Structure formats: structure tokens, C-alpha cells
Amino acid sequence: MQVYNTQSRKKEELIPLDPPNIRMYVCGPTTYNFIHLGNARPLVFFDTVRRYLEYRGYKVKYVQNFTDVDDKIINRALKEGEEPLKLASRYIEEYFKDADALGVRRADVHPRVSEHIDDIIKAITGLIAKGYAYVVDGDVYYRVEAFPGYGKLSGRTQEEMMAGARVEIDERKENPADFALWKKAKPGEPYWESPWGKGRPGWHIECSVMAVKYLGETLDIHGGGNDLIFPHHENELAQAEALTGKPFVRYWMHNGFITVNNEKMSKSLGNFFLLRDILAKFPPDVVRFYLLSVHYRSPLDFDDGKLTEAGKALGRLKNTRLLACEFIEGGRELEKGLAQDAFIEEVKREKAEFIAAMDDDFNTAQALGHLFNISRLLNSYMAEADKHDELARARVREALHIFEELGNILGIFMEYKEEKEDLWLDLAGIMLDVRQMLREEKNFVLADQIRNCLYELGIVIEDTPEKSRIKAENAPPVEKVMEKVIFIRSELRKNKDYARADYIRDRLKEKNILIEDTREGARWRFAQI
């Protein structure tokens, strides 16, 4: 496998320190708000990396931190009159709601800064002892000059950084590039006791400490957004290597930014999208699919139109899955080997190419292309094949198995909570049955009226030789569906088709719905039990 390493700026063969183990650390959010789309990209991408590495036989230990001690949290807590740590922990819970929705698996460890203050103090003490840090009036700074490799990740020299530096110069620092390991607490701020007085950790030290604590002195993969390269990861590296004397990370991976109308997403521009708001408009699998449809190192532009398009594209894949499931329904499992033929061979070729694409620096966009190819192969095969042929079913079963296996690496085949029990489906089913009767007696006018009624509710009917199927993006409210049912029944009565009108009434009764005909029209209610 090839992995692009930010530090060397080229793709390198992935060789873990201790195969088959892979130790992976990804920087998690600072929890002072709901996460936004920009947070979602690394989440989904590195979750996919993890799934793929596991698929390839690696044993992955995955750690993702929460920064729950930070100036932004303190400021926000101050405004809202809440305890900073409580606020942070509240948003950690909210974080999990969003991440779960996107199908992001929980990390093996989710360490929090607030629970590692002792480790951090120990690390800072060690850095001071080794001459890599110094104390100034309750603050502790990292001595950049003492670490010769400083700048090797972001690829810049200290002189270069000086050139365009906009950092205000703190006269107490030995060198303007020195950064805080420990910050003295101002009045009213939360603090922990330390050898240097009351204070809290600086921004970068927590990751070095927690990564080493849970994964060892050398990680295989360390990931995060592009913007973390400098200063965050540069500083993490400087701290960790100064302390351990070992290489901190073998492969640095960074994802590109999300833009909105080709502008960086930022609060000042007012083009900030909370994941929560997006998930209110689009299903989570569509969001996940969209994030993976562009190579992770490229910028990804966001707008509703693009997500709508992604929804259609993903719909193709999901439809294939549905068709294939229908095709193999009820069939027996055939022995392997029997099913081999040119079709299966082609599917396997696409699978091999999918894997080749993922092996090449996790090229999810290209991998998706091969998934679409399998989709087309399957659809074509099913269109030609006889679903009563056991052999054909066995082949479809095998192809579907491959299709789902690959889709699950990307995490785009989410199982929605079962809607089978939903009342609207029963109601639509009754309508469908009535429509079928009407079609059989060639009453297409009314049959089409039923289809249109359902369509207005967002329910699509597709007729096949065997049966008709119902699809809906979102479950329509029962009241709306009942409105249509009553309307159709009244049309039937107008046509003096009382048998069918009664049929509807009887079927509804089975579902505990009573119809009462009045002079003004019918009304309905749930039967008392």
C-alpha cells in the first residue's frame, strides 16, 4: 500500500512499525460547539482508512482525542454562564450523535485533556529537565531552538517563518517562535495545580502526551486536517521527539479543506455549516458518500446542489442492492465454484481494481468508480437472467456479496432503522393492491390517479412483471396518506365501485382504522382498543 506522507511530500510504501499492528491517532475536535462539515471530513475519511486497513488484515488501534480544555471553550462557557468542563462534555455527547449518524465507528480510546493533566505535567517537567522548555512567571514555553528538527513537517525554516510572521511578539519569550506548554491561569479561569503554579496546558502538548500514552512512542499514522500541519502537528512532533528521542510518527496524513462556493468555510465569512443542519436536509449516507467522492487531499466544495447530485448517485448503488436482494430472495445457497462464469469474473476484476485504488493512498473517488461498474454489471446481468434459475441466483448472490463488502469499507451502505412496521407502508400497500386490481381490469385512469396521489406524498411506484414496489426517501405522515386513501375511496364510490370501496374499508379496519361516511364525506379515526 502507498500512503502520501506530508512530511516527505510523496507517497511511501506503508510499513507499520510492528505489523500487523497499526497505531493510529487522529486529532479530534475542540468541543465548544456542534461540529461542522469541516470536522466531518477527517472523521469520515480516517474512519474509512481504519476500515480499509482492517479489511487488508491489519490490527488497528485507533485513538481520537477531545480537546476539552481550551481558550475557546472557556470564552464560550463564560458567555453562557456554564462550567467550562461541563460545556465541553456536553458537546462531546453531541459530537457522538453526529459521528454516529455518519457511521463513524467509535475509536478504541477517546482521551480527554482534562483527564490527563498529570501526564501532561509530567511531560512538561521532563522537557524542562532536558532543556527543551523554560519557565517564565508561571508560564512554560517550548524552546524551539533546542530542537534542530523544528520545521521538518511543515517544510519551513525558522527564517521563513519569521519573514511573514504576524504573531505578536511576547518579550518574555526567548524566541518569538517558542510556544506555550503551560499557561498561567488568569483570575476566573479554570486551573490545575502544577509545579509552576495554577494554570492549564497549552494547545499542543495534550496530543503528544495522549498519543504516546495510548499508542507508544512511535505512531504509524497521525492524521488531521490540513490546517493542523502548522503549528499544531509541527509542535506535537517537536514535543514528543524531544521527550522520547524516538521518531514520533511514521506517516503523517492530512485531508484537504472544505470550501463553500470555493471560499474557505469560516465564521467571519458567514458560510459555516453545522453538520447537524446538513443532516436535517440530507440523509447521513449521502453526506458520507459525498465526502468520499473526492480524493481526500483535494479541496472539497460544498453546496446543496452537489449533495443532491450525490444523493442521486448513491441512489443508483442502493437501487442495485435492492434489486439484487429481490432477485435472490428465497433461493438456496449453492456450493461455491458452481457460480463461476464470465459475469463473476468481471465483478472480481472490478473488485481487484477497487482494492488497487484504495491501496494507492486511499483513492476513494476512484474506488467508487469501480463500485459503479459493479453496479452496472449486476443490473445488466439481472435484466437478462431468469430469477427462477438457481445458478443465476447464486451468481447474483456472490456478486452482491462482493458489492456490499466493498461498499461497507466505505461505510456507505447504512442500514436504516426498519420501516417495515410503519403504518404508512401498510396504507400504501392497500392502495397498491387496489391499483393492481384496477390495472387488471384496464382502469388505467384511476390506477394512475392512485400513483399520482402517492407520488405527491413522495412515494414512488415502480411496476415490474411480478409485482410493484414502493420507494420513499422519507416516511410521509400518516394523516397525509389517509387523506389520499379517503380521496381514492371517494372516487371509487363515485364510480359506484362499492365492492372496492368496501375492500379499502375492510383492509383499514385490520389496521385499526375506522372509516365513517358522512354527508360531507368520509372521516377516519383510530379504533378504540
Partner RNA sequence: GGGCGGGUGGCGAAGUGGCUAACGCUGAGGUCUGCAAAAUCUCCAUUCACCGGUUCGAAUCCGGUCCCGCCCUCCA
Residue 202 contacts RNA per CB under 7 A: no
**Considering beta carbons, is residue 129 or 445 the nearer one to RNA?**
445
**Considering beta carbons, is residue 335 or 440 the nearer one to RNA?**
440
Q: How many other CB atoms are found less than 10 A from the CB of residue 133?
A: 25
Residue 372 has, within 13 A of its CA and on its CB side, a CA count of 14
Contact indicator for 363, 357 with CB cutoff of 8 Å: yes
> How many residues contact RNA, by CB under 7 A?
81
* Residue of 201, 224, 284, 476 interacting with RNA (CB under 7 A): 224
Residue 9 contacts RNA per CB under 7 A: yes
Residue 29 contacts RNA per CB under 7 A: yes
**Considering beta carbons, is residue 298 or 340 the nearer one to RNA?**
298
Tell me the Ramachandran region of residue 138: left when phi exceeds 0, alpha when psi lies from -120 to 50, beta otherwise: left
For the chain, the first-to-last Cα distance in angstroms comes to: 63
Q: According to the annotation, is 213 in a ligand binding site? A: no
- Of 90-149, binders to RNA (CB under 7 A) are none
Residue 352 contacts RNA per CB under 7 A: no
Contact indicator for 462, 469 with CB cutoff of 8 Å: yes
User: Rounded to an integer, what distance in angstroms lies between the CA atom of residue 189 and that of residue 199?
Assistant: 8
Q: Which residue has the cell 443532516?
A: 279
The 3-class SS string of 110-179 reads CCEHHHCHHHHHHHHHHHHHCCCEEEECCEEEECHHHCCCCCCCCCCCHHHHHHCCCCCCCCCCCCCCCE
- Of 241-260, binders to RNA (CB under 7 A) are 255, 257-259
* Residue of 34, 55, 282, 372 interacting with RNA (CB under 7 A): 372
* Residue of 56, 76, 110, 156 interacting with RNA (CB under 7 A): 156
List the one residue out of 310, 306, 295, 314 whose CA is nearest residue 365. Answer: 295
CB of 372 to RNA, least distance (A): 3
CB of 225 to RNA, least distance (A): 2
Q: What are phi and psi of 200, to 5 degrees?
A: -145, 165
CB of 95 to RNA, least distance (A): 11
Q: According to the annotation, is 27 in a ligand binding site? A: yes
User: Rounded to an integer, what distance in angstroms lies between the CA atom of residue 486 and that of residue 488?
Assistant: 5
CB of 306 to RNA, least distance (A): 6
- Of 454-483, binders to RNA (CB under 7 A) are 460-464
**Considering beta carbons, is residue 309 or 390 the nearer one to RNA?**
309
Contact indicator for 42, 29 with CB cutoff of 8 Å: no
* Residue of 79, 81, 166, 335 interacting with RNA (CB under 7 A): 166
List the one residue out of 215, 223, 256 whose CA is nearest residue 47. Answer: 223
Residue 75 contacts RNA per CB under 7 A: no
Q: Which stretch binds RNA (CB under 7 A): 33-41, 101-109, 211-219, 480-488?
A: 33-41
| CA dist list (Å): 86 to 74, 81, 89, 92, 136 | 11, 11, 5, 10, 30
Angle at 42 between CA 213 and CA 282, to 5 degrees: 135
Q: Which stretch binds RNA (CB under 7 A): 130-138, 426-434, 447-455, 517-525?
A: 447-455
Residue 181 contacts RNA per CB under 7 A: no
Q: According to the annotation, is 453 in a ligand binding site? A: no
- Of 260-299, binders to RNA (CB under 7 A) are 262-266, 293-295, 297-299
Beta sheet of 249-255, edge-to-edge order: 59-64, 21-26, 219-225, 249-255
Q: According to the annotation, is 232 in a ligand binding site? A: yes
Q: According to the annotation, is 83 in a ligand binding site? A: no
Q: Which stretch binds RNA (CB under 7 A): 26-34, 131-139, 472-480, 482-490?
A: 26-34
**Considering beta carbons, is residue 297 or 493 the nearer one to RNA?**
297
Q: Which residues contact 232 (CB under 8 A, 6 or more apart)?
A: 27, 203, 204, 207, 224
For residue 204, the SS3 value is coil
* Residue of 7, 14, 23, 39 interacting with RNA (CB under 7 A): 39
Residue 313 contacts RNA per CB under 7 A: yes
- Of 373-432, binders to RNA (CB under 7 A) are 373, 375-376, 379-380, 382-383
Angle at 291 between CA 300 and CA 235, to 5 degrees: 70
Q: Which stretch binds RNA (CB under 7 A): 212-220, 237-245, 312-320, 339-347?
A: 312-320
* Residue of 160, 174, 304, 441 interacting with RNA (CB under 7 A): 160
* Residue of 183, 232, 393, 505 interacting with RNA (CB under 7 A): 232
Q: Which residue has the cell 507517497?
A: 11
Q: Which amino acid is at 377?
A: L
- Of 491-520, binders to RNA (CB under 7 A) are none
Q: Which residue has the cell 429481490?
A: 326
**Residues in binding site:** 27, 207, 232, 236, 267
**Residues in binding site for Zn(2+):** 27, 207, 232, 236
**Residues in binding site for ATP:** 267
